[in-house]
A = this chain, B = another copy of it.
Amino acid sequence: MDPLVSFGRVLRQLRKEAGLTQEQLALAAGIERNYVSLIERGVNQPALKVIFKLAEALGTTPSKILLLVEAELKDAN
């Protein structure tokens, strides 16, 4: 599986666990709502700063998010 697709799935899962809509997450992270949607669908790939912003908005760390992405990739392979 593509890291982008995995990242999107993990992001969506973390957002839902946090009880946030895409709009709320976008606002908290300071990015466009449409961008959150594109990332969750694996269409757009987040750049480093966006990964940091999303992690902070979700009350986690970039490395923890990527650990989940790596686990998801391993499961899929």
Contacts and interface: CB of A to CB of B under 8 A. Distances in A.
Nearest to A66: B63
Interface residues of A, number: 18
Interface in A36-74: 45-49, 51-52, 61-64, 66-67, 69-70
Contacts of A62: 3, 66, 69-70
Contacts of A70: 61-63
Contacts of A4: 48-49
Given A45-B48, A47-B48, A61-B66, 16 more contacts: A3-B62, A4-B48, A4-B49, A7-B48, A45-B47, A45-B49, A48-B51, A51-B66, A61-B70, A62-B69, A63-B63, A63-B64, A63-B66, A63-B69, A63-B70, A66-B66
